[in-house]
Structure 1
Amino acid sequence: MDLTRRSLLIGAAGLPLASRTTGDPFTLGVASGDPTADGIVLWTRLAPRPLADGGLGGMPDRDVDVEWQLAEDERFTRVVRSGTATARPSWAHSVHVEPAGLRPGREYFYRFRTGGHLSPTGRTRTAPAPGTAPDLAFGVVSCSNYEHGYFTAYRRLADQQPDLVLHLGDYIYEYGPGGYENSTGTIVRSHTEHRCQTLAQFRLRHAQYKTDPDLRALHALAPWIAVNDDHEVENDWAGAHPGTSGRPHFTQRKIAGYRAYYEHMPLRRSALPRGSGIRLHRRLAWGDLATFHVLDTRQFRDEQPCDDGLRAGCAARLAPGRTLVGSAQRAWLAAGLRASRTRWNMLAQQIFMAQHDYHLGPGKEVVVDTWDGYTADRDRVLGDIAASGARNPVVLTGDIHCHYASDLLADFDDLDSRRIGVELVTTSVTSDGDGYDTPAALAAELAENPHIAYADQRRGFIAARLTPTELRADFHTLPYVTKRHAPSTVAASFTVADGTHRLSRSAVPGRRAPQAAAAGAPRRS
C-alpha cells in the first residue's frame, strides 16, 4: 500500500487535543526499526526549528509529553497500542518507543502527537513468526553525503516498496562546509557550519540530513536496521585510534557522535550509549527465512596499517594478531552462526570483505581500511562461517562508493578453493557525486580479481528479494545526483540459489548486459 500525501495526513480524529505549541515539532519525520516477531522501535524527535543554534531544534529546555499510537490501519480505526512518552532535552527531545506483544508478520501504522500537532504517519511491520518463511523484499543503502548530491536514491528505493531497509553506515558526514571534495569539486548544498566535534554540532548535522524529504520518506515507509561506519564520528577512526582529526578530544567526539546517532535513529534501548561506546552488533530473525547478523567493524578494530589508504607491499596488514571485529564480537558471531536454523544468514557490515587487488600483474595493492588490512581476521571469520554449517551466508556491505558482487573464497588466490558465500556491496547514495560510467578498464580489473563478478562506480542502491529457494539482488544506478529527480535503472542483477554459495548473473529484461565501471582506487573517504 502506498503512503500517499493524503494517507500521511489522514485523521487526527481519535486523538485528544492538548495545549498548542508554536511551530510544527515533527519537521524531522518519523521512523521505525529493529523489527522482531512481536515488537518494533518507533522514533521521532521534536524540532520545530531543526537548524536552530545549540542543536536543540528550537525546543524549550524542559520535558515534553508525546502521545503515540500504533494501529492496524492507516486511518487508525483499529488502534492496538498507545501511550505517552517523555521527550527530554538531555536527549534532544528524541522519542524511542518499543511496543511489544504485537502480531508477527503484520503491517502496522504509527504516529505521534504533542501540543496540538500531529506527526506524519509511518508504516512499519513486524518480523514473521518462527516456523514461517514468507518472501522478503529489502533494500541496502550506504554513504549519503549531503554536500555531494540529493538523496534521490532513498526515494527510488522507497518506490520499490521494501519490507525492510538496511543502512550500512555513513548516514551523515562530519566534515565542515566543503571539507570533503569529491571528484568533480561540486558542492550541491552546504553542510551546517563547522566540522562536527561537539554534541550540538552532531545534532545539527543529523537534523540537517533529516530535512531531506527523500530520506524522511524512506524512514516512514519501512523499518530500518541501521549500523554506523566512520563518518558518524570522524573519517577513518579505528577503535581507540582517532581518524583524520587527530587525538585531541577524540574520546569526547566519540561520545558526542554516538549520542547524536542514537538520538536520531530507531534503535532499541539496548543500544543506549554508555561512555564512549555503543552496542550496535546484534542479531535479528526474519521468521525461518533469514537471520541478520549485524556487525560493528569500527569500535573493536586495530588501527589501519601503513598509514591507511591504498597501499602496496604493506606487510603489517598480514600480521596474525591484527583484529577487525575483536575477539568477543567474533565469538558472538560464530556462536550465532552455529545456532542458526534459518534458510539464509545475512551478515550486515560496513567494509569490503573480499580481496580486491588494484595492481595489475604480480604483487598486490589494496585498501587497508577494508578487510584487506586485516587478512588474518578475515581468514578467521571466513573459517568460522564455513565451520558453523550456517546455511547460505551472504555478506552485505557499504562504504566503498561502488557496486560490487563477489564470491567469497577460502583462498582468494585460488579459484578452486572452498566457496564460503557471496558478498553484495552497495554503492553510495550520493558520496563522490554523480559517479562514473567508464568501462574501459573493466576487463583488466576483473581479470586481476576473478572472484569479483561486477563493479560499477555510479550512485544507487541494492533492491533484493529473498525466498526460501533464491536470493535476487538488483543493482540500481542513478545517472546523476547533483540534480533532483533522477530515475533509477537496474544496471545488473544476480541470483544466489539455495545451497550454492555462488553468484549467478541474471538477465535484466529489456536491456543489454551492463558493463561495469573502470577500475581504479575507490573514492571512499
Structure 2
Amino acid sequence: MGTLINSRRSAQKTKQPRFMKHIACRSGSIVAGLSRLSGAIALLFAGPISMSGTVHFASGFRVGEVSQDSAIVWTRLTQEPERNWDGLVPSPLMSPTRVFVDFPEIPVSDWEGAVPGAAGKVRLGISKQADLSGARWEDWVEVGPVTDFIHQFSLSGLESGTRYYLVIEGRDEKDGDLNRSSVGSFRTAPNPDSADELWFAVTTCQLYYQRDDREGFRIFESMAKLSPLFLDKPAFLVSTGDSVYYDRDNPRASTVALGRLHWQRMYSLPMIREFFRNVPGYWEKDDHDTFFDDSWREYDAPWIEPLTFEEGSALFREQVPMGPELYRTYRWGKTVQIWLVEGREYRSANDMEDSPEKTIWGAEQMDWLKESILESDAAFKILISPTAIVGPDNPDQIDSHANESFKSEGSAFRRWTYDEGLNNLYVICGDRHWQYMSTDPLSGLREFACGPSSDASVLGGPGFKPNFHSFYRPGGGFISVSAKEGIKKVLAHPQRIIEIDGPPILTIRIHDTDGEVVYEYRDSSLGG
C-alpha cells in the first residue's frame, strides 16, 4: 500500500463514494519509492505502443473554443476500445496535498482507468448533414507518444449559428484497418445580431475518487437532460478548473506520464465522454490541474517532484482543446458574451504582502479584460473565473480576489465595475466547494458559485453571511445560464393585444447534482 510520510498539514478527511466498494483492488507486491522520472524517460512507463491491428477511440473526442466560424477538435488514438477498468487501484485513493506519498513503480498502463495510446494516423470529417453526406475531410495526421497520441484539429471557415456533425477516423501507423469514432455534433456561435435563445452550463472541481457514479459524475447526465426546463443540450459547457487533481487523487502526478494518466482516466469515463460528444466546451485551469494546491509559477512543491509548474501547465494545454490563448472572450448572439480568465500563469506569490502591485491576473490581462468588457454591447456580460472575486471565503484562505491576500486588486476591480456602471456584468466562479449567490455590498457586483461536481467533495465554507449572500448551500452541482429576447404584450386596440420585443432576460440557476433547481435569479437588461 502507499505510505504517507512527513505530513506538513493535518490530514484531511476524505469521503469514499459508494461505487468504490465495487472496484476490485488487484493484489501484488508494492515496490517502495516513487519513480523519479520525467520527460522522455517517463514515456517508457506510459504502456506499450500499438504497432499493428485496429486503433480505437476510448478517449473519444472533444470540441472546444467554438466561435462564429471556428472550433478546435481534440482526439486521441488508443489501443483498446475501453479504459482499463481492472487495473491497480491506489491505496489510499486520495491524500492530503502537503504530504509525501510512495506508490509502486509500475507501467502507467497498469493503473485503473489508464488508456494506453496507439501510434497511427487520424483525420476528421465534418458536415452539416447528420448522415455526414458531403463531408469535408481534414488531411491525415500522424500521432505518437510525444503528444500522448493526441491531435487537435483547428477548424475554420464555418458558418455561424449552424449545427455541424463530425466523425474521427483512425488507422495504425502501417495503414492497417480503418476505425471510425461515433458521430458527434456541435453548434457554432450565432452572430452578434442574432436573438436566438441560448443556454449553457458551468462546472468545477472533479475529484476522480469522489465521483458519485462508477462511470462518471451524475451532473453530466443531469445537464444533458434538463427537460422540461430546456428541451435541448447546453450550447456549451465551461469548466472553470480543477478538472483533475494532480495532488490529491492518487497516484500523485509526479511525472508527465502520471499527469497524463489523470486526464486519461477522467475523460474516458463513459458519462463524460458521451456528454462531450455532442456538447462543446471551454476549459479554464486552476491550481490542481495546473500544478499544485494554491500554486503560482515559482511555487516550491516537493510533494509532487519532479513534476514542474511548466510541465503541468503544458499538460493542461495538451489535454484540452483550447488553442494558444490563455485568456479570451466569446460572443454568443445579441444577448451573451463570456470572458474566460487565467489565474495561475501571471499571479504574484500568494504569501507576498498585499499591495497595489500584487496581482492574480497581471497588468496585460487586466487591461484586456477592462477594455473588452467596455467595448462589448452584449445585453449580458458573464465573467467566468476559476476563483472567487466577491466571495466571501474562509478567513484562512489566501488564493483569490475574495481573500485579504489579494484585497488591493480585488477591491480595485470591484470598484471599477461600480464606477463604470456595469449593472449587466455577472461573475460565475469555480473552486469553491459550496454553492452561493452573493453581492458585494460596496460595488453591487454579483457572483454565483457552481459548487463541486459531486456531493462527496462538498466543504462547509464560511456559512451564510447576510450582508453578502442571497443564497448559500453546502452542496455540489452546476450552474445553468439562459438568455433570450424578452416579449412585451401591448394593447394595440381594445380587442387586440400584440407582442413586441422587450428587454432581454437572463436567468441564472443553481442546480444540485441531479439537476434540481435550488436557486434561481432573473434579471433584464437593455444592454450596453
Q: TM-score, normalised by structure 1?
A: 0.73
Matched, 1:472 2:507: yes
| 1:27 paired residue number | 58
Matched, 1:125 2:191: no
Q: Show CA shifts across 1:336-385 (max 9, x none).
A: 11211221211111111114165xxxxxx352222113111012222343
Alignment coverage as a number of residue pairs: 416
Q: What is the rounded CA distance, in whole Å, between the counterparts of 2:393 and 2:63 in structure 1?
A: 39
Q: CA deviation at 1:69?
A: 0.7
CA contact (8 A) 2:59 2:115 kept: no
Q: Show CA shifts across 1:73-125 (max 9, x none).
A: 32212424544333243111111112211110111111101121111222111
The root-mean-square deviation of aligned C-alpha atoms, in Å, is 2.9
Task: Describe the SS at the equivalent of 1:354.
Answer: coil
CA contact (8 A) 1:473 1:494 kept: yes
Provide closer, same or farther for how the CA distance between residues 95 and 357 of structure 1 changes in structure 2, counting only shifts above 3 A. Answer: closer
Q: What is the rounded CA distance, in whole Å, between the counterparts of 1:70 and 1:323 in structure 2?
A: 42
Residue identity in the other structure for 2:156: A
| 2:283 paired residue number | 226
Matched, 1:457 2:474: yes
Q: What is the rounded CA distance, in whole Å, between the counterparts of 2:203 and 2:269 in structure 1?
A: 16
| 1:498 paired residue number | 525
From the CA coordinates, give the structure whose radius of gyration is larger: 2
Q: CA deviation at 1:244?
A: 4.8
2:392 aligns with one of 353, 356, 359: 356
Q: CA deviation at 1:247?
A: 9.1
Q: CA deviation at 1:236?
A: 2.6
Q: CA deviation at 1:305?
A: 3.1
- 1:477-488 matched pairs, under 5 angstroms: 477-478=512-513, 487-488=514-515
Matched, 1:426 2:450: yes
Matched, 1:149 2:211: yes
Q: CA deviation at 1:389?
A: 5.5
1:345 aligns with one of 365, 381, 387: 381
1:258 aligns with one of 295, 298, 313: 313
CA contact (8 A) 2:70 2:157 kept: yes
Q: What is the rounded CA distance, in whole Å, between the counterparts of 1:247 and 1:72 in structure 2?
A: 46
| 2:224 paired residue number | 158
Residue identity in the other structure for 1:255: E
| 1:208 paired residue number | 265
In structure 2, the gaps of 5 or more residues are 1-50, 88-106, 172-177, 227-232, 486-503
CA contact (8 A) 2:450 2:477 kept: yes
Matched, 1:369 2:399: yes
CA contact (8 A) 1:45 1:264 kept: no
| 2:150 paired residue number | 94
Q: What is the rounded CA distance, in whole Å, between the counterparts of 1:427 and 1:295 in structure 2?
A: 18
Q: Show CA shifts across 1:435-461 (max 9, x none).
A: 48x99x96xx333xx221111112111
Matched, 1:382 2:382: no
Residue identity in the other structure for 2:238: L
Provide closer, same or farther for how the CA distance between residues 263 and 370 of structure 1 changes in structure 2, counting only shifts above 3 A. Answer: same
- 1:31-430 matched pairs, under 5 angstroms: 31-49=62-80, 53=107, 57-59=115-117, 64-80=120-136, 82-115=138-171, 116-150=178-212, 151-160=217-226, 161-175=233-247, 179=248, 191=250, 194-242=251-299, 244-245=301-302, 249=306, 252-268=307-323, 270=324, 279-305=325-351, 316-317=353-354, 319-356=355-392, 365=395, 367-371=397-401, 372=403, 373-388=405-420, 392-409=424-441, 411=442, 418-419=443-444, 421-430=445-454
Q: CA deviation at 1:32?
A: 0.3
Provide closer, same or farther for how the CA distance between residues 209 and 294 of structure 1 changes in structure 2, counting only shifts above 3 A. Answer: same
